[in-house]
Every structure is written in C-alpha cells, then in structure tokens.
C-alpha cells in the first residue's frame, strides 16, 4: 500500500525584491501588521493558514471531546500514528509474541540467498526431458505391445477353409453326376458348419491389417521412446544427477523452516493480527482521515508550535485583540499540555518506525496471499517425496542398457513389416475377398435342420453357390497361404525376443518417470521460496521493536480514558468560553486542505516533481505492456488517470493565484486570499483508484520492478494535489465569518457576560443564598433550644420552695374542693 507523508515541504525563501509583486490586498494592509519580510505573500499566507488551522483544531477538539464525537483514545491513536484506534482492542485478544515469532520466521526464509535459488532453478529448467509423469505402465505396455504380438493366431481358422475347399472340389463345373442324396446331405451339413469359420478367417485378415497398422504406429512411437530413454540414461548418471543433488542440498535447510511457517499460517489469529498492525500503522491519505488532529500533520510537534504562536503579532491582529492572547492561551492550556503525557521514548518508538511497521506487515501478508494461491502444503509434500525418489534416481547408473542393442536388431527387420502390411492390403482389396458374402450362405442354410435328405439334395443340385465358391475358396486359400509365408513373421519373432529385456528397460523407465515429477516438485518449491519478499535491515529492526511498540501503545490506550476524564475536569472552569459550533469540522478540514494544497503549489521543486511523475508514468505504461493477458484483466484501467492527466495549465494557474493573494490583514481578507485557490484547475488524479490499482499491480510479475517503485514515490510527492481536490469552492469566506464571530464573543470585555455565564452565576448566587439561609435557620434553632434548656433548669433550693408551694397550693385546692 502506498504511504503518504503528511509533513508539508519546507518553503525556500526567495529574494526580498519579489515583494513588489504584491497585489492590492497586500498593499492595503495596515502598517501595524508585522510580517516576516523574508517571506513572499503566498508563503506568509501558507504559514498563517497553518497557524489558524492548529488553533481552530484545538478548539474543535475540545468541543468534539465534550460532545463525545471524538475521544482521547482517538487522540492517542493519531498521536502514535495509528489509523483506527477501534481496531487496537483486537490486538489484546491474542498473544502478540506469536506474531513476532512468525514474522522472524518469515525473515529467516525470505533471506535465503535468492540468487542461488534462481541459479538452481535455471539449471533445473535446462534438464529438458519428455514429460512422462502421465505415462502409466499400461500405456507403456501399449507402446511395446508389438513385442507380444502373436501372428499365427490370426490364421487359426485356416483349416476350416481347407475343409471347405475339399468339400467343394467336385463342384467346379456344377453338381457331379455321382452325387447321391446321402452325399449331398453330408456336404450340406458340413459346409453349413464351416462356412461361418471361413467368414471369421476373412474377418481376421481384415483385423490383421488393422493390427499391423496399430503395430506399426506403436513400433514407430517406440523408436522415439527408446532413443530418449537411452539419452536420459546416459545423462542421468552425469549432469542430471549432479544438478539434482546440489539442488536438494541447497533447499534442504529451508524445508523445516517452511513447514513451521505453514503451520503458523494456519493460525488465523496471527494473520488477523498482521492485518490489524497493517491497518493501525497505515497512513494512506485516501483512507486515513484524522478525526481529532486534522490540523496537525506532525501531531504533538504541532501542539508545540501552537504553544509559541500566542505571541504572534499577526494572530493578534486578525483576531482583533488589543494586547495579549493570554486569556485564550489560559483556557487552552490544558489541551496544549497534552504532549507531556507522551514521553520521548514512546513517541520515538512510533514515529520512527510507523511506516516501516506498516511495510513489513503488508509485505508478509502479501507473501501469505501469494503462497496461498500455490497450494503450498501439496507442493511441499511433493518436494519431500522427490527427496525419497532421488535415491531411486541415483541407482540409474548401474542399469543394464543391452535392451538398446536388442531393439536395434528388431529395427533391422522393420522393412519386412512394411511388406507384410502391403500384402494384406492387396488381399483385402482383391475381387475374391469382396465376392465372399456370408449372408447368401446364411439364407441358403436357413431352416436346414428341418430339411430331409431329399430336400437338401434338391437344394444342393439347384444352387449355384457350390460351384461359385468352389473356385472362390481355392483362390482365397492361395492368397492366405502367401500371407503366411511372408517374412513379416520373422519380424514378429524378433520383436517377441525383446520381452526378456523389458524388465531392465522398465527400471530405467521408472527412474525417468520419477525424474519429471521430481524436477517439477523442486522447481515449484523453489518458486514458492522466491515468493518470500526479502526483509530489509530496517524492517528486521522494526520487527524487533514492534512488540515493545505495541505494549507502549496498549498502555496509553488503557490510560486514555483517565486522560480524558482529567482533561475534562481541568477544562470545566472554561467550558462556557470554549463551547461553540461556529468553529466546525468543515471549517477545520477545509482550512487544513487549503494549507496543504498551498504548500504544494509553493514548493519550488513542484515543476520537477510533475515532470518526474509524467516520466515515470510513461515508463510504467511501457512496463505494463509485458503483463500477461490475465494480469492485464486483473489490473484493469485503474491507472489511466496517471497516463491521461494533463498538468499543462497548473503552473499558469498557480502564478496567477500568487499574484492575487496576501497573508491577510484580518480574517475576511485571509479567507479572500484562500478563495484564490478556487481558480486553480486541479489535475483530476484519482488517488484512491490509483493506490488500489498499484496495490494490485504489486502482486503481478512486474510488482517489484523499478517502474512501480518510481511511480509510488512520485505519487507520494503529489499528495498535495489530493488535498487540493478535497477543497470545496466558495466555502471559505462563510466558514471564516463564523469563526470571526466566535472570537468576537470570546474577547468581549469582562463586564459583558455571556449568556451561558449568567446562568452559571445565577445558579452560584442561588446556591450561596441557600447555604446562608440554611445556616440562619440552623442558628435560630440552636438558640431556641438553648433558651428552653435554661428555663427548665432550677437549683436545689428552688426545687424545695417549689415543693412547699405546691403542697400549700394543694391544700388550698383541697379546701376549695370541699362541699359547701
């Protein structure tokens, strides 16, 4: 996957005399605005845009954190360079050490010397041999079936033809006068039995012809077979054996490693964790949209820059502040101090190796995918089987090769076979052969069993078949006798003698048959090893540090919730001042996109970058012509925008833009300057499609070529154009106006209390009043109770007098109650 660097290029300072090119916007700036005279107006605008983006992002971050649309977990993820914090939790489910072991194992296999593998495979391919892997014992017997051919079997019905001739010899001129009913019936019965065998004999002659044709084809195939077998046997004991032995010895050390690697690949947890690592460290600009820190390309470094920008005179003026920005700095201080939560060791672990971590995880995943397509377990097993077959192969040099001489002896009589075939062909084309029709005999003998002697006698005398076939069978017999005497029978006899040598020939054949699968197994196994992309020294270092890196990240993710709680508690005293929807995500993103696009436009190296991109694009187009048809279908047309995009108007548009912008004397003029970017025609490079297609291209035959690497590097340098394409035209002024209103409210005089603050003060006053009221009530209650206790308390003397008085009163009472 293509990785983009978010850091914008440093701008080269140009001579001061170019400041005369400023437009009306610049010349009308108030003299009180202090600017860096070493910067051109456009450069100052880019610098100021970066400052405002950082400021807006911090305020936005607080409001989104307060609303819950972002979290400190996302902040931590982005600071550490992780793409998706939500996926990090998956890492905790598995033992990451197993994944690191697997990565190290991949490194061991991938760093086997590739040049030696390549050389061995080239040598293996030079061992050109007929592929006999599909040639079975049955097929081999078919090739050499001529050695078992029984010529005499084709003439087994010859005696029946002779019997027919003897029975019909007296019918040459018609039925003999001496023919009796009994004799005629006997001839009738004998001929009816034997005439079918004569037909079979003629069929055998036809089959003999077909067999000899097949025989000849088999014999001719054996010529090529024997020559190749002899050639193979000669080479086997020398070149072939040496190359095979060296190859197996070279690959032997990797077999155990590869089998362990395959066992680990079956662990879905390891593969899944590699995908998580890849996703976490990916910073692909088309899929990684920073949520919390969109305005901080360099994360914590950007927070550090913002810390010092509160003394920026330009910032004070555009925010319309007399004096200092200390009040703004004070409310933002808890956010600005966030960088202290990340020590340098942890930051270095992430920032140094982030892209390398991604590269090595992506490389190993691609290796797994490529190897999965090759059925590696099956091919590894075939390689192990080939090792055992090598022992059988090594014994070839002791085989008997006398079968070659025997075969040459048979070859000397091959002309006899040709003559025999010709004679049979002539016999089958003769009129006698075609005149013999078995069907007319079958018709003649129909219902013969039910006929009497007289009826048979009558049929024999009246039929002309006996006369006609008396002559025909004699002629056929003469021709067949000639075929039996042909010298072809000597050829068959010689061929039969090869049977005794087939055992030795089979041994060589079995070894030769094992060679081709052995060769293929070695080649395929070597090709699998070549699919392991070499791990670089830096990537190897990354693997070693990756476990610690992930442990650091895990610790920070665990602490992120406490960090969030502490931050919210620390900022609660200022929440009424920062709470706003006027500084929106849309504003922050559009300002960030504009700043990064402007940084690209002002890069003095931009013309050379574009020229190199176009050159690399043409080179890649030529290289892609070498792709196979299947690969071209897979790649598709996703790179067309590389080949078809024109940059012809870009430099002119940028020059025009630079003549119409300045650093901004206030937020309105600042937005007006950024709106000048709307007039630049952004070349329509489809970054998302290009990156996706390049990832596909990397898995093809040209995936590691210098052309692919060069275009990826060029595309990385053009990332500013991607930000330019994300800008929304005619949006900046209205968005900046909202921000301006926020700062007007923020920097109001203390006597003017924001509405939100009033409610707080009222609540506080009510709370104080309630506390005082409760205190007064409590005091009064205490005083009353104290007074009551004093009234109820009397001395002993008082008590005595009270008793006397009570008695006196009681006496009076009694008297008063007496009857009148």
Would you say how long the chain is, in residues?
820
Please enumerate in sequence order all residues whose Cβ is within 8 A of that of 467, keeping only pairs 6 or more positions apart, or say none: 171, 172, 173, 174, 175
pLDDT band at 45 (very low <50, low <70, confident <90, very high): very high
Q: How far apart are CA 292 and CA 300, in angstroms?
A: 12
CA within 13 Å, CB half, 67: 14
Considering the domain architecture, whether residues 648 and 689 belong to the same structural domain is answered as yes
Quick one: average pLDDT of 100-109? 83
Three-class secondary structure of residue 252 per DSSP = helix
Structure tokens at 602: 């002002």
The answer to whether position 39 is within a domain reads yes
**Regarding predicted confidence, which is higher, 238 or 109?**
109
* Distance, CA of 120 to CA of 530 (rounded, Å): 12
Q: Is residue 112 part of a domain?
A: no
Whether residue 609 is contained in a domain is answered as yes
Residue 131 belongs to some domain of the structure: no
The answer to whether residue 640 scores a pLDDT higher than 80 is yes
Residues 571 and 702 in one domain: yes
- 292-344 pLDDT, tens per residue? 788 877 767 777 788 788 888 899 999 988 888 988 988 888 888 877 766 65
Q: What is the pLDDT of residue 682?
A: 94
Domain boundary among 494, 515, 536: 515
Write the burial class of residue 788 (CB in 10 Å: 0-12 exposed, 13-18 middle, 19+ buried): exposed
CA angle 299, 302, 305 (to 5 degrees): 160
User: What does the alpha-carbon distance between residue 627 and residue 635 come to, in Å, rounded to a whole number?
Assistant: 9
Q: Helix 453-462 and helix 181-235: axis angle, to 10°?
A: 70
Confidence label for 32 from pLDDT (cuts 50, 70 and 90): very low
Instruction: Based on the fold, state whether residues 663 and 715 are members of the same structural domain.
Output: yes
Residue 401, classified by CB atoms within 10 Å of its CB into exposed (0-12), middle (13-18) or buried (19+), is middle
Among 473, 488, 515, which residue terminates a domain? 515
Between CA 717 and CA 610 the distance in angstroms is: 9
Looking at residue 583, what is its pLDDT? Answer: 93
Together in a domain, 58 and 184: no
Residues 312 and 421 occupy one common structural domain: no
Structure tokens at 116: 């030696």
pLDDT at residue number 737: 93
Say yes or no: 477 and 586 in one domain.
no
Q: What is the pLDDT of residues 242-289, one digit of tens each?
A: 777 777 777 777 777 887 888 887 777 888 888 878 777 775 555 445
pLDDT in tens, 388-445: 777 666 665 555 566 677 777 777 777 777 888 888 888 888 888 888 888 888 888 8
Whether residue 675 lies inside any domain: the answer is yes
Q: Which of 715, 746, 730 is nearest to 590 (CA)?
A: 730
In this structure, are 706 and 776 located in the same domain? no
The overall average pLDDT reported for the chain is 76
Q: Which of 282, 288, 290, 329 is nearest to 588 (CA)?
A: 290
pLDDT above 70: residue 42: yes
pLDDT in tens, 207-216: 878 888 877 8
Chain-centroid distance, C-alpha 226 = 47
Is the same domain home to 570 and 481? no
In a domain, 257, yes or no: no
Q: Which structure tokens are listed for 481?
A: 């006798």
d(Cα 573, Cα 232) in Å, to the nearest integer?
92
Residue 660 is assigned to a structural domain of this protein:
yes
pLDDT at 395: 61
Residue 765, pLDDT score: 56
Task: Give residue 774's domain range.
Answer: 761-788
**What pLDDT score was predicted for residue 743?**
92
Q: What mean pLDDT do residues 742-756 have?
A: 65
Mean pLDDT, range 175-199, rounded to an integer: 85
Does 811 have pLDDT greater than 60? no
What is the Cα–Cα distance from 576 to 745, expressed in whole angstroms?
Answer: 11
Lowest mean pLDDT among 55-69, 126-140, 460-474: 126-140
CB atoms within 10 A of CB 52: 26
In sequence order, what DSSP letters do the residues of 378-393 get, joined into one string?
A: HHHHHHHHHHHHHHHH
Q: Are 331 and 754 in contact (CB under 8 A)?
A: no
Q: How far apart are CA 208 and CA 214, in angstroms?
A: 10
Domain count, the chain: 3
* Any domain includes 20: yes
What is the b/e burial string over 744-756, where b = at least 16 CB atoms within 10 angstroms of the residue's CB? eebeeeeeeeeee
- Is-contact 731 590, C-beta < 8 A? yes
Across the range 746-763, mean pLDDT stands at 53
Instruction: Give yes or no: residues 57 and 165 share one domain.
Output: no
Q: What percent of the chain has pLDDT over 70?
A: 72
Q: What is the pLDDT of residue 820?
A: 29
Residues 731 and 766 in one domain: no
Separation of first and last alpha carbons in the chain? 125
Q: Please tell me whether residues 682 and 596 are part of one structural domain.
A: yes
Residues 736 and 767 in one domain: no
């Amino acid at each position: 996957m293509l990785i983009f660097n978010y850091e914008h290029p440093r701008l080269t300072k140009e001579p001061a005399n170019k400041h005369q090119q400023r437009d009306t916007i610049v010349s009308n700036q108030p003299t009180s605005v202090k600017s860096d005279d070493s910067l051109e107006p456009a450069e100052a605008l880019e610098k100021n845009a970066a400052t405002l983006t950082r400021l807006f992002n911090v305020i936005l971050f607080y409001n989104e954190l307060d609303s819950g649309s972002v979290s400190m977990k996302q902040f931590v993820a982005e600071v550490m360079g992780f793409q998706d914090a939500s996926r990090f939790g998956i890492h905790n489910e598995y033992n990451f050490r197993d994944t690191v072991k697997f990565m190290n194992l991949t490194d061991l296999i991938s760093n086997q010397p590739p040049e030696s593998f390549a050389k061995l495979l080239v040598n293996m391919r030079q061992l050109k041999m007929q592929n006999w892997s599909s040639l079975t014992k049955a097929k081999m017997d078919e090739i050499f079936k001529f050695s078992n051919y029984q010529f005499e079997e084709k003439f087994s019905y010859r005696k029946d033809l002779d019997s027919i001739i003897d029975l019909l010899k007296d019918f040459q001129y018609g039925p003999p006068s001496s023919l009796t009913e009994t004799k005629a019936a006997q001839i009738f019965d004998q001929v009816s039995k034997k005439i079918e065998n004569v037909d079979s004999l003629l069929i055998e002659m036809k089959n003999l012809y077909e067999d000899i044709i097949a025989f000849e084809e088999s014999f001719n195939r054996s010529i090529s077979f024997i020559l190749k077998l002899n050639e193979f046997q000669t080479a086997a004991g020398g070149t072939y054996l040496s190359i095979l032995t060296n190859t197996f010895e070279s690959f032997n050390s990797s077999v155990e490693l590869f089998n362990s690697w395959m066992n680990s690949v079956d662990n879905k947890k390891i593969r899944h964790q590699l995908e998580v690592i890849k996703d976490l460290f990916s910073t692909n600009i088309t899929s990684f949209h920073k949520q919390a820190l969109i305005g901080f390309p360099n994360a914590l470094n950007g927070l550090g820059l913002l810390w010092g920008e509160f003394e920026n005179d330009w910032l004070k003026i555009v925010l319309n502040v007399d004096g200092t920005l200390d009040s703004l700095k004070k409310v933002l201080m808890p956010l600005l101090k966030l960088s202290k939560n990340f020590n340098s060791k942890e930051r270095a672990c992430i920032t140094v190796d982030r892209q390398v971590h991604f590269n090595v995880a992506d490389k190993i995943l691609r290796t797994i995918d490529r190897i999965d397509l090759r059925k590696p377990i099956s091919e590894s097993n075939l390689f192990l089987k080939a090792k055992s077959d090598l022992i059988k192969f090594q014994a070839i040099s002791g085989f008997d090769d006398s079968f070659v001489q025997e075969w040459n002896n048979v070859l000397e009589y091959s002309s006899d076979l040709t003559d025999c075939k010709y004679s049979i062909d002539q016999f089958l084309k003769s009129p006698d052969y075609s005149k013999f029709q078995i069907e007319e005999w079958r018709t003649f003998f129909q219902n013969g069993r039910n006929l009497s002697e007289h009826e048979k006698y009558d049929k024999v005398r009246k039929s002309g078949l006996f006369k006609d076939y008396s002559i025909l069978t004699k002629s056929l017999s003469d021709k067949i006798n000639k075929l039996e005497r042909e010298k072809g029978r000597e050829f068959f006899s010689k061929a039969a003698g090869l049977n005794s040598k087939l055992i030795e020939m089979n041994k060589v054949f079995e070894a030769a048959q094992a060679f081709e699968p052995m060769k293929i197994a070695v080649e395929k196994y070597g090709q699998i090893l070549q699919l392991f992309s070499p791990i670089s020294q830096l990537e190897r270092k990354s693997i070693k540090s990756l476990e610690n890196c992930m442990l650091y990240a895990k610790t920070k993710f665990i602490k992120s919730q406490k960090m969030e709680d502490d931050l919210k508690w620390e900022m609660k005293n200022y929440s009424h001042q920062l709470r706003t929807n006027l500084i929106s995500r849309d504003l922050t993103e559009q300002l960030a996109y504009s700043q990064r696009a402007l940084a690209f436009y002002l890069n003095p190296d931009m013309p050379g970058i574009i020229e190199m991109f176009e050159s690399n694009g043409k080179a890649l187009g030529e290289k892609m012509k070498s792709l196979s048809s299947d690969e071209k279908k897979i790649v598709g047309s996703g790179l067309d925008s590389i080949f078809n995009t024109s940059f012809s108007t870009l430099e002119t548009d940028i020059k025009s833009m630079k003549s119409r912008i300045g650093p901004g004397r206030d937020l309105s003029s600042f937005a007006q300057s950024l709106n000048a970017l709307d007039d630049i025609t952004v070349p329509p490079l489809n970054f998302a499609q290009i990156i996706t297609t390049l990832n596909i291209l990397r898995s093809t035959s040209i995936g590691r070529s210098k052309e692919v690497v060069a275009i990826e590097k060029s595309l990385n340098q053009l990332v500013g154009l991607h930000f330019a394409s994300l800008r929304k035209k005619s949006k900046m002024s209205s968005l900046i106006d909202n921000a301006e209103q926020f700062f007007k409210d923020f920097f109001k005089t203390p006597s003017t209390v924001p509405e939100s603050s009033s409610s707080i003060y009222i609540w506080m006053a009510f709370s104080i009043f309630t506390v005082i009221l409760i205190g007064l009530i409590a005091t009064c209650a205490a005083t009353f109770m104290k007074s009551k206790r004093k009234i109820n308390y009397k001395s002993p003397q008082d008590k005595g007098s009270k008793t006397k008085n009570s008695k006196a009163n009681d006496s009076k009472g009694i008297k008063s109650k007496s009857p009148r």
